[in-house]
Amino acid sequence: MRNSGCFCWRLGLAVLVVLGSSIQVAAMTRGLLPPSTALPVRFVHSVDARKAHIGDTVLATTLQVVILPGGERLAKGTVLKGHVVDARAFHSDSTPYAEQQASRLSIRFDEIERGDLTIPVNLSVRALANTLDSSSAESPHWLDESDPFPFKTLIGGGEFSPSDKIVKGENGIVVAVNRRQGVFARLLASENNGSGAGLNCSASDAEQSVAIFAPNACGLYGFVDESMPRAGRRGSGTFTLESRDHSVKLYAGATALLEEMRER
């Protein structure tokens, strides 16, 4: 009888574990990310408007750990999968006074791949930085050869030493914290009229993963002849880059601070 009771107890525990795992899996596949969750990511490969086709896969990976409510985590390097929604090469019309046809590249991220699970997402772009600016933000700098203390510059403003535990803004106020898992901050409201559409970035109450981005980063960084008329807001989840000077190309190594827009 004692062995039978032990077996039943273990069986009941196993059932609870399985049910708990099933509930967790179901919750994750329904959409784990709360609204305003920030995802700092790096694009894995280049996407060229001259060569891309609608439906082509676009991949990005998270720059650091993303800590979610309830203790759930997305590890650094978690894959974010999307696709090309529209691609149009630049076309120059030699006819006098003719309007040049702008190049366009539209991308939508669809899901996070976490092991055998896929988590649907509906993301907008808060900030998008080209490869050069992204690389510069990830690398430590020295003022001169005699300076023993390196510093890093966040995209959107703000400097800190890699050994510092806090990040201060230009006014000396702490705007972020630097932990072993990366840089975290509450997102700050900001406007960027240079992105092509007067992009407005809202604030967040919860601490978010920002990695190499300042909490007020908003719009395009390092893109000279491109604009972002659509950043994926209003439920579309699709962001668009345009240029009236050349064919748009989003190079591998470019980074973005994405934000979950899905309403609960």
Q: Which secondary structure element, helix H or strand E, spans residue 227, and what is its range?
A: strand 227-231
- Whether residue 85 is predicted with pLDDT greater than 70 in this model: the reply is yes
Q: Note the pLDDT tens digit of each residue in 181-193.
A: 999 999 999 887 5
27 and 61 housed in the same domain = no
Q: What is the mean pLDDT of residues 26-51?
A: 82
87 and 183 housed in the same domain = yes
Q: Note the pLDDT tens digit of each residue in 213-232.
A: 999 999 999 998 999 999 98
- Whether residue 33 is predicted with pLDDT greater than 90 in this model: the reply is no
Helices (H), 121-165: 131-138
183 and 237 housed in the same domain = yes
49 and 138 housed in the same domain = yes
Residue 155 CA, chain-centre distance (Å), reads 13
18 and 90 housed in the same domain = no
Cα 212 to Cα 28: distance, rounded to the nearest angstrom: 27
Q: How confident is the model at residue 198 (pLDDT cuts 50, 70, 90)?
A: low
**Which residue do the tokens 């107890």 mark?**
9
27 and 126 housed in the same domain = no
Range of the domain at 9: 1-31
Q: How confident is the model at residue 197 (pLDDT cuts 50, 70, 90)?
A: low
Helices (H), 100-218: 131-138
Torsion of CA 235, 226, 63, 25, to 10 degrees: 20
As for how many domains the chain has, the answer is: 2
Position 127 scores a pLDDT of 96
136 and 62 housed in the same domain = yes
Q: Note the pLDDT tens digit of each residue in 128-161.
A: 999 999 999 988 776 666 666 677 889 998 888 8
Tell me the whole-structure pTM to 2 decimals.
0.83
